[in-house]
Amino acid sequence: MKDLLFETIKIKNLEIKNRIYMPAMHLQMAKNFEITDQLINFYRERAKGGAGMIIVGYATVNDLAGMPSCIGAHKDDYIPGLNQLASVIKDNGARAGVQLNHSGRYNHSFFLNGRQPVAPSPIPSRLTKETPRELSIDEIKETINSFAEATIRIKKAGFEAVEVLSGTGYLISEFMSPLTNQRKDEYGGSFENRIRFGLEIMQAIKKSTGDDFPLIVRMNGNDFMQGGQGRKELQEYAKKLVEVGVDALCINVGWHEARVPQIVTSVPRGAFAYLSRGIKEKVSVPVIASHRIPDPETARELLDNNMCDMIAMGRSLIADPYMPEKARTGRENEIIHCIACAQGCFDNLFKMKSVECMCNPVSGYEKERKIERAEKAKKIMIVGGGPGGMSAAIACAKRGYYVTLYDKGSRLGGQLHIAGAPPGREEFLRLAKDLEAQLYVNNVKVVLNQNVDEELIKQEMPDAVIIATGAVPIKPRITGIDLPNVVQSWDVLENKVRTGKKVVVIGGGAVGVETALFLAEKGTLPPDVLKFLMVNKAEDMESLYELSIKGTKDVLLIEMIDKVGKDIGITTRWGMLQDLGRIGVKTCISTKALEITENSIKVESAGNVSEIPADTIVLAVGALPYNPIQSILEKMNISFKVIGDAKKIGMAFDAVHQGFLAGIAIT
Residue 312 has pLDDT above 80, yes or no: yes
Residue 93: the pLDDT is 97
Higher pLDDT, 519 or 424: 519
Q: List Cβ<8 Å contacts ≥24 apart for 179-185.
A: 179/123, 179/225, 179/227, 179/228, 180/105, 180/119, 180/120, 180/121, 180/123, 181/120, 181/121, 182/120, 182/121, 182/123, 183/120, 183/121, 183/134, 185/137
Q: Are residues 323 and 213 in the same domain?
A: yes
CATH code of the domain containing 506: 3.50.50.60
The answer to whether position 448 is within a domain reads yes
Do both 84 and 186 map to the same domain?
Answer: yes
Confidence of residue 477 (pLDDT cuts 50, 70, 90): very high
Same domain, 109 and 192: yes
Instruction: Tell me if 551 is assigned to some domain.
Output: yes
Q: Across the chain, what does the average pLDDT equal?
A: 96
> Domain range holding 557?
475-621
Backbone phi and psi for residue 452, each to the nearest 5 degrees, phi listed first: -95, 120
Residues 197 and 145 in one domain: yes
Report the pLDDT value the prediction gives residue 352, as an integer from 0 to 100.
86
For the residues 649-654, what does the mean pLDDT come to? 94
Q: Specify whether 534 is located in the same domain as 386.
A: no
Give Cβ neighbours of residue 459 (< 8 Å, ≥ 6 apart): none
One domain, residues 516 and 650: no
* C-beta of residue 382 within 8 angstroms of C-beta of residue 404: yes
**End position of a domain, from candidates 322, 338, 354:** 338
Phi, then psi, of 420 in degrees rounded to 5: -90, 5
Of the candidates 118, 26, 135, the residue with the CA atom closest to the CA atom of residue 71? 26
Among the candidates 283, 311, 338, a domain finishes at 338
Statement to judge: residues 75 and 202 lie in one domain: yes
**Residue 432 sits in a domain of what CATH number?**
3.40.50.720
457 and 505 inside one domain: no
In a domain, 361, yes or no: no
| 360 domain-assigned | no
The pLDDT score that the predictor gives to residue 545 is: 95
Write the single-letter amino acid at 125.
Answer: S
pLDDT (mean) for 374-379: 93
How many CB atoms within 10 Å of residue 154?
30
Residue 282 has pLDDT above 90, yes or no: yes
Q: Contact at 8 Å (CB) between 602 and 594?
A: yes
| Residues 291, 439 within the same domain | no
Residue 349 lies in a domain: no
- Find the DSSP H helices in 110-183: 137-156, 171-176
* pLDDT for residue 391 is more than 80: yes
Q: Model pTM?
A: 0.94
Percent above pLDDT 90 for the chain: 93
Q: Are residues 125 and 56 in the same domain?
A: yes
- How confident is residue 83, by pLDDT bands cut at 50, 70 and 90? very high
Final residue before a domain boundary, out of 309, 338, 367? 338
Q: What are phi and psi of 247, to 5 degrees?
A: -100, -15
Whether 658 is covered by a domain: the verdict is yes
Overall domain count for the chain: 3
Helix, strand or coil, per DSSP, at residue 382: strand
- Same domain as 291, residue 218: yes
pLDDT band of residue 346 (cuts 50, 70, 90) is confident
Q: What is the pLDDT of residue 348?
A: 87
pLDDT 10s digits, 175-229:
999 999 999 999 999 999 999 999 999 999 999 999 999 999 999 999 999 999 9
Is position 18 within any domain? no
- CATH number, domain at 167? 3.20.20.70
Strand segments (E) across 210-257: 215-220, 248-252
Specify the pLDDT at position 126. 87
| Res 1 pLDDT > 90 | no
Whether residue 295 contacts residue 335, with contact meaning beta carbons closer than 8 Å, is answered with yes
Phi (first) and psi of residue 167, to 5 degrees: -175, -165
State whether 482 and 544 are in the same domain: yes
* pLDDT number for residue 569: 87
Asked, for residue 270, whether it belongs to a domain, the answer is yes
Residue 2: which pLDDT band, with cuts at 50, 70 and 90?
confident
**Confidence class for position 351, pLDDT limits 50, 70, 90:** confident
